[in-house]
Amino acid sequence: MLNILNVQNVQRELPYGRSTACSISVQRAVQCRSFKMEINSEQGSRTDKPIKPQLVATILSDELEDDAIISVDSGTTTSWAARYINIRRGMHFSLSGTLASMGYGLPYAIAAQIAFPTRRSIAFVGDGGFTMLMGEFATAVQHNLPIKVIIIKNSVLGMIRWEQMAFLGNPEFGVEFTPIDYAKFAEACGEKGYTVTEPRDVKPILNEALTEKKPTIVEVYVDPFDPPMPPQVDLEFVKKIAESFAKGQPYAKRIGLTLYRNQIHERLRDLHHHG
């Protein structure tokens, strides 16, 4: 409901414009959401290199029709899609009910395209989840289903990495895997595949891919060290991350720098908002 509410609407419904505890809570919620959307808009427009996954989700959101169907796989892609894809009235948005079952993004998109042949069907997936059932892309090719598979490629099971660090205080283990050339895989199946490595190419390549009338894969190489941060960073979170660093977390310096930059950026925006 908050996406169609605003403070003026709430005030108009109150007798004589009076405020109540409920109306004040709603106003605060609307203002908080508006601020969060402002932060997301800035994060989603960053053109750092390596490519930020937030940028991919934001640009994809802008390019989609209002009746598009988006099937999102589990992992860090769930966070990027939920925060940076603007779900409008008329869209369908599907993800795992428990946010834990990997691999379903592609078959969901295939099923959606069969059920709604005239609508855009998108699989927004990580490379880990896609690899688990990538053979089903051949099914889409066989039946000429024009799904679009957007792969957030970082060659790591990203959410498992962050859970090992932030929940257990342990360094990552068993989460990296051999990268696959998914664009060539699409070509091996007889269809078009795109590879994106530069931030400036995200928009034009996504736009071109969306015009294809056949199954298409777009793999985007993203920053593997950009974490899906929780809404609130508490002391326990910081403690666990520090423990993982102390125990020998690989790439600790780079991960720490990314965490620091992201938090400083958000805190500056927070100070400006309340300034």
Examine residue 181 and state whether it is found in any structural domain, yes or no.
Answer: yes
Examine residue 82 and state whether it is found in any structural domain, yes or no.
Answer: yes
Above 50 in pLDDT, residue 49?
yes
Examine residue 135 and state whether it is found in any structural domain, yes or no.
Answer: yes
- CA nearest neighbour of 140 among 182, 190, 184, 179: 190
Please report which confidence band the pLDDT of residue 11 belongs to, taking 50, 70 and 90 as the band edges.
Answer: very low
Examine residue 244 and state whether it is found in any structural domain, yes or no.
Answer: no
Examine residue 77 and state whether it is found in any structural domain, yes or no.
Answer: yes
Q: How far apart are CA 225 and CA 26, in angstroms?
A: 36
> DSSP 3-state assignment of 163?
helix
Contact 250, 179 (CB under 8 A): no
Please report which confidence band the pLDDT of residue 3 belongs to, taking 50, 70 and 90 as the band edges.
Answer: very low
What is the average per-residue pLDDT within 180-193? 98
Q: What is the pLDDT of residue 6?
A: 47
- What are the tens digits of pLDDT across the range 87-102? 999 999 998 877 678 9
Contact 108, 82 (CB under 8 A): no
Examine residue 67 and state whether it is found in any structural domain, yes or no.
Answer: yes
Above 80 in pLDDT, residue 213?
yes
Count the domains in the chain: 1
Amino acid making up residue 38: E
- What are the tens digits of pLDDT across the range 131-183? 999 999 999 999 999 999 999 999 999 999 999 999 999 999 999 999 999 99
Please report which confidence band the pLDDT of residue 227 belongs to, taking 50, 70 and 90 as the band edges.
Answer: confident
Q: What is the pLDDT of residue 10?
A: 44
Return the residue matching tokens 């509410």: 5
Q: What is the pLDDT of residue 19?
A: 57
**The domain containing residue 147 runs over which residues?**
53-221
Examine residue 7 and state whether it is found in any structural domain, yes or no.
Answer: no
Q: What is the pTM of this model?
A: 0.81
What is the average per-residue pLDDT within 44-71? 92
The larger pLDDT score, comparing residue 84 to residue 4, is at 84
Please report which confidence band the pLDDT of residue 53 belongs to, taking 50, 70 and 90 as the band edges.
Answer: very high
The larger pLDDT score, comparing residue 230 to residue 122, is at 122
Q: What is the pLDDT of residue 2?
A: 41
Examine residue 147 and state whether it is found in any structural domain, yes or no.
Answer: yes
Please list, residue by residue across 248-269, b when 16 or more beta carbons sit within 10 angstroms of its beta carbon and e when fewer do: ebeebeebeebbeebeeebeee
The pair of three-digit structure tokens given for residue 202, joined into one six-digit string: 């995200």
Q: What is the pLDDT of residue 5?
A: 43
Q: What is the pLDDT of residue 216?
A: 99
What CATH number is given to the structural domain containing 61? 3.40.50.970
